[in-house]
Amino acid sequence: MIIKPNSQNLGNAGEYFISYKLSLHDYVTSITLGRNEGFDILAVSPAGEMFKIQVKTKWEKKKKFWILSKKAEKQVEPNLYYAFIEIIDEAEQEPNFWIIPSAIVAELCTEEHKGYLEAGKKDNTIRIFGIMGQQKVSKYFPTKYLTVIHELKNKVQFIKEKEGRF
User: Which tens digits make up the pLDDT trace of 45-104?
Assistant: 999 999 999 999 988 766 678 889 999 999 999 999 999 998 877 656 889 899 999 998
Q: Which domains does the chain have, with CATH numbers?
A: 7-160 (3.40.1350.10)
**Proportion of the chain above pLDDT 90, given as a percent:** 44
Q: Which residues contact 3 (CB under 8 A, 6 or more apart)?
A: none
How far apart, in whole angstroms, are the C-alpha atoms of residue 166 and residue 161? Answer: 6
pLDDT confidence tier of residue 123, bands split at 50, 70 and 90: very high
pTM: 0.87
State the pLDDT at residue 164: 40
